Amino acid sequence: MTWEKLPAIAGGHGGCLNCGYQHDVFPMEGVIAVGFGSASLTKGNECVYDEQDVERPDSGFTDYLTGEQAEAFAAADPDHDWRIHLVAPLSERHYQRQGDKHWVLYEKGEGFA
């Protein structure tokens, strides 16, 4: 392993109570999209998927990525630092892959509004 495993933190409600529950581990059926804001999947410093890719016909993405699909990308190339980033108004969550189907919450915040 050539990347640093970040300490996991507890989920719960972040930002406001209307913004939804922040899972300790990103669910495989979860969608990597926030609507207003930004959502992405990164491998090291490289952006592999961005929520806005769905709107670009040349991106190769026709629908929002799920946790299961992100896991498939990461499982095919596991020796990198894979992360899911979800930044929205009043809610921000960041997950790091730390094993098979195990994407832990390592940072959360109140978002950008």
Q: Is residue 59 part of a domain?
A: yes
Q: Is residue 3 part of a domain?
A: no
What pLDDT does 31 receive?
96
**Mean pLDDT of all residues in the chain?**
90
Nearest to 81 by CA among 59, 63, 60, 104: 104
Q: Is residue 42 part of a domain?
A: yes
Residue 21 burial by Cβ neighbours in a 10 Å radius (0-12, 13-18, 19+): exposed
Q: Is residue 50 part of a domain?
A: yes
From CA 75, how far away is CA 72, in angstroms rounded?
Answer: 5
Q: pLDDT tens for residues 32-41?
A: 999 899 999 9
Q: What's the structural domain count of the chain?
A: 1
Q: pTM of the predicted model, to two decimals?
A: 0.90
Domain span at residue 97 reads 12-111
